[in-house]
Amino acid sequence: MLVVSNISKRYRGADEPVLKNISFTVNAGERVGLIGPNGCGKSTLIGIITGQIQPDSGSVQFNPPALRVGYLPQGLPDTDFLSVRDVLFPGAGDLAQAEARVERLAGAIAGANEEDLSGLLEAYGDALEQFERMSIGLATGTYEPILAGLGLAELDLDLQVGVLSGGQKTRLGLAALLLSEPDLLVLDEPTNHLDVTGLEWLEGWLQGFQGGALIVSHDRTFLDETITRLVALDDRQHTARLYEGTYSQYVKTVQSELDKQWAAWRDQQAEIARLESDFRQTMARAVRKENATKDSTQRRYAKKVAARAQAKKKRLERYLESEERVEKPIPAWPLRMGLLEDVSALPSDREIIILDDLAIGYEADRPLLRDVTVSVMAGERIAVLGPNGQGKSTLLRTIIGELPPLCGTARIANSVQVGYLAQEQEILDPQSTPLDTLLAAAPMSHTEARTFLHFFLFRGDEVFRPVEQLSYGERACLMLAIPVAQGANLLILDEPINHLDVPARERFEQALRSYQGSVLAVVHDRYFVDRFATQIWHIESGEFSVSFHSPVEA
């Protein structure tokens, strides 16, 4: 269905191409994942496939050429002045005209003579087919399951899109795409703004999809549940490698390759050390012999020993230059939570959050949640799960004192320093730089601040880039760096990894494992939850439940 052949692209002024000889296929029934760190060229490649960007070389072919391609971008077009119906069914406005044409032709056929009947019957057939195609999506049972699965069942079809939240708009765009009956799907972060229920519904829908799909996603569990193959872009070589199977199988394959490369590199280093030692010992023996005697015979022997030493040196040089030489594995860029080992951890038997008979919400007679009594002990890492709109963010805001309880109490213990990162909160000055932002937030020298930011993926001169030029993932890292730099021993995070790519999410997980403080986080990334949480709070339909969880070893 999709054939990508030797695609290369270099932007003007860049030293290296962003993509180099990228090739892969997507066939009917295949769901192919496209992954790689931010900045590796995923968006460029998607732009080339969808015809928005021209490659320098290579080609993109669809088979058949008239293939219906459904594309879901990260940023949806401006549809605020349209109704929900207009977005879901773009041709609905023409439906009445199509129906009128069918009725008009039916009337003409009834009174037609033999000479005109054949042409009218053909026109009627075409008009009827067009009308049925336009109206099929409106048939009861066709669109409703999709809206329900994406959490949009309660939307009035005549509602103006502009009044919807950003998450609802994204899900509406996805619903419209699925209803358009595409042959090939190109999905750029389809899981954004989906809760666990929506994610599982979309997974099931894709598993039954008969066409092909190319999926960019940072949700590793979603990739595990949906993809059959994976294209991994390399941000160093600007090439791509293809892997069969799920994301977890890809991780095992890459880790196995890395382990083998480390073993081969260590063996090589041992052989290099042996050759160097052999050369030095032989040369030292030759020098000692030559310096110890004036006898011409012994000096000639010393020169022969020196020649052997030079031969061994040449052998070493050939070994170092050979194609079989193994390069030292380059580890992923380390995101460390800024010297978190220095955070003062509280005793593990200390209660740090106490919720007693708590009710939360915005209207006293309609609480989102009630009768919540629970405490959090120091060192615990809690994931808050549940569908959208159930009160997860409201609970966090109540705990930190941003919202008053409807009844009961929410208390944070003394000596607890809270670092709070709100969902979609833009706390950064667009004109400031990461370095200036950190220096304004914490007492550090320039050198300390640059070193700290290095742990948060800001390399070299990147600390001087204006915030407005940073990617969403880079901004998320910077917003996370601020409370950590301020010494928070309790992190309260609302969707902290929404805009992090897969490598950054994995580094974030590694950082949290070494963090000595406590964490309370609203997350939808199930892969992250499995490896992070010691306890899970689940909120749904006004009910609050607690379960204990053993993190999966990475």
- Domain edges within the chain: 2-88+164-245, 93-134, 261-321, 340-548
- Spell 432-455 as b/e; 16+ CB within 10 A means b: bbbbbbbbebbebeeeebbebbbb
Residue 394: in which H helix or E strand, if any? Answer: helix 392-399
- Spell 225-259 as b/e; 16+ CB within 10 A means b: bbbebbbbbeeeebbbeebeebbeebbebeeeeee
According to DSSP, the residues that pair with 8 across neighbouring strands are 57
CATH number corresponding to 2-88+164-245: 3.40.50.300
What pLDDT, on a 0 to 100 scale, did the predictor assign at position 254? Answer: 86
What are 366's two structure tokens?
């309609």
CATH number corresponding to 340-548: 3.40.50.300
What pLDDT, on a 0 to 100 scale, did the predictor assign at position 57? Answer: 92
Give, for all 554 residues of the chain, the pLDDT tens digit: 899 999 999 888 878 889 999 999 999 989 999 988 777 888 899 999 988 999 999 999 998 888 888 888 876 666 777 888 777 777 666 666 777 887 888 888 877 777 777 787 888 888 787 777 666 555 545 678 888 888 888 888 788 888 877 677 778 888 888 887 788 989 888 887 777 778 888 888 888 888 899 999 888 888 999 999 999 998 888 899 999 999 889 988 888 888 888 888 888 888 778 777 877 777 777 677 666 666 666 666 667 767 777 777 777 777 677 666 777 776 554 444 444 444 445 666 678 899 999 999 998 888 999 999 999 888 889 999 988 888 898 999 999 988 999 999 999 887 788 888 876 556 788 889 999 998 988 888 888 888 888 777 787 788 898 888 887 667 777 887 888 788 888 889 888 877 777 777 776 776 666 677 889 999 888 888 888 888 999 998 889 999 888 877 65
| Strands across the sheet containing 351-360 | 369-377, 351-360, 407-412
First-to-last CA distance in the chain?
Answer: 36
What pLDDT, on a 0 to 100 scale, did the predictor assign at position 343? Answer: 44
| Ramachandran region, residue 409 (left: φ > 0; alpha: ψ -120 to 50; beta: rest) | beta
Within this chain, domains 2-88+164-245 and 340-548 share the same CATH topology: yes
What pLDDT, on a 0 to 100 scale, did the predictor assign at position 5? Answer: 92
What pLDDT, on a 0 to 100 scale, did the predictor assign at position 331? Answer: 55
195, 201, 205, 208 alpha-carbon torsion, rounded to 10°: 130
pTM assigned to the model: 0.62
202, 190 Cβ separation under 8 angstroms: yes
Neighbours of 116 (CB within 10 A): 12
